[in-house]
Homo-oligomer: A and B are copies of this chain.
Amino acid sequence: MEPLRRKIQEEGKAIGTDIIKVDNFLNHQIDISFLREIGKELGQRFGDLAPNKIVTVESSGIAIACETARYFGDIPVLFAKKAAPNTLVEGYYCAPAKSFTKGIVSTLRVSKNFLGPDDRVLIVDDFLAYGEAAMALCELCRQSGAQVLGIGAVIEKEFQGGSKRLREKGYRVEALAVIQSIQDGKVIFQAD
Chain A positions within 8 Å of B, measured between CB atoms, are 15, 19, 21, 23-24, 28-33, 35, 58-59, 62-63, 65-66, 69-70, 74-79, 81, 83, 85-89, 99, 101-103, 110-111, 113-114
Contacts and interface: CB of A to CB of B under 8 A. Distances in A.
Q: How many copies does the complex hold?
A: 2
Given A35-B66, A59-B62, A62-B63, A28 B114 contact: yes
B77 A32 contact: yes
Contacts of A114: 23-24, 28-29
Nearest to A72: B32
A127 B85 CA distance: 14
A56 B103 CA distance: 24
Given A24-B114, A87-B101, 14 more contacts: A23-B114, A24-B113, A28-B78, A29-B111, A30-B77, A30-B78, A32-B70, A32-B75, A32-B76, A58-B59, A62-B62, A83-B102, A85-B101, A86-B101
A78 B30 CA distance: 6
Nearest to A22: B87
A131 B101 CA distance: 30
